[in-house]
Chains A and B, each alone.
Chain A
Amino acid sequence: DTEVTQTPKHLVMGMTNKKSLKCEQHMGHRAMYWYKQKAKKPPELMFVYSYEKLSINESVPSRFSPECPNSSLLNLHLHALQPEDSALYLCASSQDGRDSNYEQYFGPGTRLTVT
């Protein structure tokens, strides 16, 4: 199984709502990532988890709160978002070790619209 799944596929939320994005992989990968991608722009790294610990936070506003409950799951909790946060949110996973065949596996993304 080389698939990363993300739910929901689409999400519309108001600026006062609280919602969560979910990501799951069963490839035994110990590194998991959240990216944000605006239309016609490249993906931008938000967070990296390594062995369920937050390793990188790319100065993301606190209204985005990541969580890695176990090695297969990654969540992104959303609260008090702004309309400019509307984007495609991508989850990815990869090996985390001395492996020369580095590759990130991406999920299909969650299309988020903040109204």
Chain B
Amino acid sequence: LAKTTQPISMDSYEGQEVNITCSHNNIATNDYITWYQQFPSQGPRFIIQGYKTKVTNEVASLFIPADRKSSTLSLPRVSLSDTAVYYCLVGAPWGYQKVTFGIGTKLQVIP
């Protein structure tokens, strides 16, 4: 399983764009990159998944360079409700998933 490295914490003001980078130097050819969000005392929630280049959905964008050794989750115009822990995971997208959550990034949005 590819190991991931993320910043432990980040602060941002409301309305700013937030970029959280994840390093995954030993990502395998078949691996996808997936991000989850977790609020205190709740289960993680899927945000976005990608394989290469750029993926965008209604809540975030995911940027993956050509070498795929890192990825960046971009949250546009964050609000206080985006304060949460964000986890980057790497693994094959099919079959049951033996996933390993990294330490995650605690994002604190400041008014």
The answer to whether B96 touches A42 (Cβ under 8 A) is no
Q: How far is the CA of A108 from the CA of B38 in the complex (A)?
A: 10
Are B93's CB and A42's CB within 8 A? no
- The interface stretch among B10-18, B21-29, B43-51, B71-79 is B43-51
A103 contacts the other chain (Cβ, under 8 Å)?
Answer: yes
User: Given the interface contacts A42-B101, A42-B103, A102-B32, does A96 sit within 8 Å of B43 by beta carbon?
Assistant: no
Whether the Cβ atoms of B49 and A106 lie closer than 8 Å is no
- A109 to chain B: which residues have CB within 8 Å? 41-43
Q: Are B43 and A100 interface neighbours, CB within 8 A?
A: no
Nearest to A49 among chain B residues (CB) is B96
Interface bits B86-111 vs A (CB < 8 Å: 1, else 0): 01000001111111111110000000
Interface string of B33-44 (1 = CB under 8 A from A): 010100001111
Chain B residues with CB below 8 A from A49, complex form: 96
Q: When the two chains form their complex, are residues B41 and A111 in contact, meaning their CB atoms are under 8 A apart?
A: yes
* Nearest CB in chain A to that of B44: its residue: A106
A103 engages B46 (CB within 8 Å): yes
Give the interface segment out of A12-20, A69-77, A87-95. Answer: A87-95
The answer to the question of A43 belonging to the interface, with a C-beta cut-off of 8 Å to chain B, is yes
Are B41 and A100 in contact, with the CB atoms below 8 A? no
Residues of B within 8 A of A106 (CB): 43-45
Q: Are B94 and A99 in contact (CB under 8 A)?
A: yes
Known: A42-B102, A111-B41. A104 touches B94 (CB 8 A): no
Please measure, in the bound complex, the distance between the C-alpha atom of A48 and the C-alpha atom of B93, giving whole angstroms.
15
8 A Cβ contacts from A56-104 to B? 56, 88, 90-92, 94, 96-104
Q: Which A residues lie within 8 Å of B93 (CB)?
A: 99-102
Name the distance in Å between A41's Cβ and chain B's nearest Cβ: 8
B92 CB to closest chain A CB (Å) equals 8
Q: Beyond A48-B96, A48-B97, A100-B93, list 8 extra A-B contacts (CB 8 Å).
A: A97-B94, A99-B93, A99-B94, A100-B94, A101-B93, A103-B34, A106-B44, A109-B42
